[in-house]
Structure 1
Amino acid sequence: MYFLTRELYFPNVEEASPEGLVAIGGDLSPERLLLAYRNGIFPWFEDDEPILWWSPPERMVLFFNELKISKSMRNILNRGMFTITCNKAFREVITACRRVEREGQDGTWITDDMVDAYCRLHELGVARSYEVWYEDKLVGGLYGVDMGHIFCGESMFSLMPNASKVAFIKLSRDLQKQGYRLLDCQVHNSHLESLGAREIPRKEFIRYLRSI
């Protein structure tokens, strides 16, 4: 296993463990985070762990022409019950993603340091958030890292049924209009699978990532 030093470097993702662990340690500086995302790597760890860097052998992605919107979801979108904004409440979105309880998880991987790190990326114009409002209350949203041709989704939350789906659909439609190649969802998630996301081999994902 590769242990990072102060040098801005990551080993080739093909050297990852069978589970996808690429390296351990380092920091969450904007420079290191951007280097990681450019190489198909993302941080995922808990408070009591060192920083762990991952590139899973199967990558969950959405190709925009495969986006699935159910009839009931179309009705919700057509009713206009939610207001959707972009980059209006980034810190609030990542904080809500941190606090929301998730089935099968005792805690969260979004530590204090992670919150600060991605807020710095947002200040640099690299990280983006989508917010979903109901009667002026933030009820859902998502955030991720914008690579210019691929959007790397990080986390999403919902305080009302379907609020996170609304954010996901709006993001996907916007990215498609802007000519992005795909939406990176990182690891398998049945919620996102229901919206059309699927797994592709890591090598295929890296080809998309590098085809700027």
Structure 2
Amino acid sequence: MPAQLPWLEPHDPFPSPESAWGPNDPAPGLLAAGGALDVKHLRAAYGQGTFPWFSEGQPILWWAPDPRMVLPVAEFRLHRSLRKTLQKFAAAGDRCEVRVDSAFGQVIRACSSTPREGQAGTWIVPDMVQAYEALHAAGSAHSVETWVDGRLVGGLYCVALGRAVFGESMFAHATDASKIALAALVAICRVHGVALIDCQQNTRHLASLGAREIPRSEFLRQIGVAQGLAGGAWRFEPVYWNQLLAPHSTPLA
């Protein structure tokens, strides 16, 4: 029988991530249910490597999977086709630009409404949208946006505590628009000394870009150090593309 899942009242502290359900339990990585989706609880959750993930009609479910999928920013795979896309995007001047935090609400709603392969619905339910907009207003959630001819065509949103960055979701309404936003996030992280981006779950798409699994214990160690370091300013400058497009870097086939 699996261990009993803790039920959290709104003011209860989170259980230790190490107490999450294991590989032989019904939902590996599930840590607790209940609690509250406010700024205080979200910061506390991410600070200990825990995140909310649930569907409409379910209680708030908190997860701390082992292993954890992360993207070490130094290992980001810039394939030849994406390099060409970024070079063209960067050379387009004012027609194409990356913006940060200019349209957080639009980004999270687009992530919520974009169909996903193999998913019948979305986990970005209205309560989650409201909660992350509050976290954004408090300075701990950010959007990285791809704009073309004044139109938002793709982007992502993430959570940041110091130099610990936790990716949440991406969307694209144009070819490679979400990949451009992710590449921009990687460049921002390189500029500001962020070592890895949390990806939460293992997907082939993320693995193709350099993400890999690490033990939860190592993940917790790294974010424990990173969140204690001062984070950089959340903005994107065109010169940041040099972090990925410098002549000495070798594209992958």
Instruction: Give the TM-score band, short-chain normalised.
Output: over 0.9
**2:128 matched residue in structure 1:** 114
Q: Considering only CA atoms, is the larger Rg found in Structure 1 or Structure 2?
A: 2
**2:10 matched residue in structure 1:** 6
Please report how far the alpha carbon of residue 6 of structure 1 lies from its aligned counterpart in structure 2 after TM superposition.
Answer: 2.4
Q: Deviations over 1:91-118 (max 9, x none)?
A: 0000000000000000000011100100
Is 1:169 matched up with 2:183?
yes
Bigger shift: 65-74 or 6-15?
6-15
Instruction: Return the alpha-carbon distance in structure 1 between the equivalents of residues 158 and 199 of structure 2.
Output: 10
Cα pair 1:126 1:145 within 8 Å, conserved:
yes
**1:157 matched residue in structure 2:** 171
Structure 2: gaps (5+ residues): 23-27, 229-253
Pick from 49, 72, 83 the counterpart of residue 58 of structure 2.
Answer: 49
Cα pair 2:6 2:33 within 8 Å, conserved:
yes
**2:101 matched residue in structure 1:** 87
Is 1:21 matched up with 2:30?
yes
SS at match of 2:158: strand
Please report how far the alpha carbon of residue 48 of structure 1 lies from its aligned counterpart in structure 2 after TM superposition.
Answer: 1.1
Cα pair 2:17 2:49 within 8 Å, conserved:
yes
**2:39 matched residue in structure 1:** 30
**2:210 matched residue in structure 1:** 196
Identity of aligned residues (%): 45
Instruction: Return the alpha-carbon distance in structure 2 between the equivalents of residues 8 and 118 of structure 1.
Output: 20
Please report how far the alpha carbon of residue 60 of structure 1 lies from its aligned counterpart in structure 2 after TM superposition.
Answer: 0.8
Cα pair 2:74 2:195 within 8 Å, conserved:
no
Query: Structure 1 counterpart of 2:158, which letter?
Result: G
Runs of 4+ in 1 over 6 A off after TM superposition: none
Instruction: Return the alpha-carbon distance in structure 2 between the equivalents of residues 190 and 160 of structure 1.
Output: 20
Instruction: Return the alpha-carbon distance in structure 2 between the equivalents of residues 101 and 29 of structure 1.
Output: 27
**1:72 matched residue in structure 2:** 81
SS at match of 1:160: coil
Please report how far the alpha carbon of residue 58 of structure 1 lies from its aligned counterpart in structure 2 after TM superposition.
Answer: 1.2
Please report how far the alpha carbon of residue 87 of structure 1 lies from its aligned counterpart in structure 2 after TM superposition.
Answer: 0.4
Cα pair 2:147 2:153 within 8 Å, conserved:
yes
- TM-score, normalised via structure 1 length: 0.97
Please report how far the alpha carbon of residue 8 of structure 1 lies from its aligned counterpart in structure 2 after TM superposition.
Answer: 3.8
Please report how far the alpha carbon of residue 38 of structure 1 lies from its aligned counterpart in structure 2 after TM superposition.
Answer: 0.4
Structure 1: gaps (5+ residues): none
Cα pair 1:44 1:51 within 8 Å, conserved:
yes
Please report how far the alpha carbon of residue 7 of structure 1 lies from its aligned counterpart in structure 2 after TM superposition.
Answer: 2.0
- TM-score, normalised via structure 2 length: 0.82
**1:130 matched residue in structure 2:** 144
* Number of residue pairs matched by the alignment: 212
